């Protein structure tokens, strides 16, 4: 809702949000403890050892991920990089990222940020949306974190879509947008390397609104980092429309925030969320490792 105050307009946040029917009618969890962090997104999970989860726990975690979109696990300091990888593999094949530094094993990406390498993930984004099959989800493990700062936020793209005005929903229905790594990862490449990677990873055209392949929920699927433009419409209109959709992601009503500690693990549904890593801890060090699960072609 917009109102005019003085000579400017302000916009209030959404007046109501729709709780997922799956979550609202969910049976109780029998093999783990789940505590919601907000009514719509995020849950603290306890009673699970990620180094050796039981089959029943994996089944319930698969349901919890769909219902809560982001799962948080504490006190997992003992989990090794290999166990981290093996846990994520319960959800499918794993990505080997072609442009980020690996840890001990190829599927593990290592983010080592500090004085000489400041964090640059402080932008709302979907992991690797420039791939034909962006990740299903990502599992991020804290190795070393600052005493304060370095939080990560996630935003619920189902509620972000639901809260759009009806006329915008009608306008974006059926549209696609271009996703490209060039404006981000490409900045650090030589012209020769950039040309090689562009040939291997050409821009992808994904729906502006995708449908979750498991829940059927409609989800906003454009992001600040990798979406360059909306396809097939007037560029001026497209730029303004994309800005409006990107702004929608930033509403706190859709978000959950995590304060990290060593051994904390976050597992998010990359299809249903966007995330933002605060870079407020410079010059302190923050070391994380991530495993991503190969997803489907957005539709």
* Given 68, 84, 275, 286, the catalytic residue: 275
Strand, helix or coil for residue 298: coil
**Tokens at residue 25, please?**
């009618």
Exposed, middle or buried: residue 78 (CB in 10 Å: 0-12, 13-18, 19+)? exposed
For residue 290, indicate whether it is catalytic: yes
What superfamily in CATH does domain 32-293 come from? Clavaminate synthase-like (3.60.130.10)
Pairing state between β 255-258 and 152-156: antiparallel
- Tell me: pLDDT of 66 over 90: yes
* Given 85, 86, 127, 271, the catalytic residue: 127
* Residue 203: other Cβ atoms inside 10 A: 15
For residue 31, indicate whether it is catalytic: no
For residue 206, indicate whether it is catalytic: no
| pLDDT band for position 4 (cuts 50, 70, 90) | low
Q: Which residues contact 107 (CB under 8 A, 6 or more apart)?
A: 85, 88, 94, 95, 96, 291
**Distance separating alpha carbons of residues 16 and 153, to the nearest angstrom:** 21
Pairing state between β 70-73 and 209-211: unpaired
Strand, helix or coil for residue 20: coil
**Distance separating alpha carbons of residues 267 and 33, to the nearest angstrom:** 16
- Tell me: pLDDT of 174 over 70: yes
* pLDDT attached to residue 21: 46
Mean pLDDT value across residues 197-224: 96
Peptide bond into 191 cis (omega under 30): no
b/e 138-152 (16+ beta carbons within 10 angstroms → b):
bbbbbbebbeebbeb
Of 27, 74, 67, the C-alpha closest to 47 is: 74
Of 228, 224, 226, the C-alpha closest to 246 is: 224
Average pLDDT score over the chain: 92
* Given 68, 125, 179, 286, the catalytic residue: 125
Q: Which helix (H) or strand (E) holds 289?
A: strand 286-293
Strand, helix or coil for residue 83: helix
* pLDDT attached to residue 14: 74
236-287 pLDDT tens trace:
999 999 999 999 999 999 999 999 999 999 999 999 999 999 999 889 999 9
107-155 pLDDT tens trace:
999 988 877 777 778 899 999 999 999 999 999 999 999 999 999 999 9
For residue 125, indicate whether it is catalytic: yes
- Tell me: pLDDT of 296 over 80: yes
Lowest mean pLDDT among 19-23, 137-141, 162-166, 232-236: 19-23
**288 - beta bridge partners?**
111, 142
């Amino acid at each position: 809702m917009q109102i005019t105050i003085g000579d400017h307009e302000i916009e209030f946040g959404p007046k109501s949000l729709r709780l997922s029917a799956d979550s609202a009618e969910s049976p109780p969890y029998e093999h783990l403890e789940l505590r919601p962090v907000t009514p719509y997104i995020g849950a603290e999970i306890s009673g699970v050892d990620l180094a050796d989860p039981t089959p029943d726990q994996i089944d319930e975690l698969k349901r919890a991920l769909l219902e809560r979109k982001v799962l948080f696990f504490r006190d997992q300091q003992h989990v090794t990089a290999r166990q981290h990888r093996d846990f994520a593999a319960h959800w499918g094949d794993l990505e080997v990222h072609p442009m980020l530094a690996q840890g001990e094993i190829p599927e593990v990406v290592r983010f080592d940020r500090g004085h000489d390498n400041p964090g640059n993930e402080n932008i709302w984004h979907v992991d690797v949306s420039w791939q034909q099959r962006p990740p299903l989800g990502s599992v991020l493990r804290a190795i070393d974190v600052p005493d304060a700062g370095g939080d990560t936020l996630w935003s619920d793209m189902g509620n972000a879509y639901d809260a759009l005005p009806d006329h915008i929903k009608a306008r974006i229905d059926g549209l696609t947008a271009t996703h490209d790594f060039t404006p981000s990862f490409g900045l650090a490449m030589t012209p020769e390397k950039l040309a090689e990677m562009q040939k291997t990873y050409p821009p992808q055209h994904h729906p502006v609104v995708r449908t979750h392949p498991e829940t059927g929920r409609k989800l906003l699927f454009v992001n600040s980092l990798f979406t360059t433009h909306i396809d097939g419409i007037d560029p001026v209109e497209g730029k303004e429309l994309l800005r409006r959709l990107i702004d929608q992601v930033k509403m706190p009503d859709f978000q959950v925030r995590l304060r990290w500690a060593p051994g904390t693990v976050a597992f998010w549904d990359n299809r249903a969320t966007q995330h933002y890593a605060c870079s407020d801890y410079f010059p302190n060090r923050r070391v994380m490792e991530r495993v991503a699960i190969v997803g489907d072609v957005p539709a």
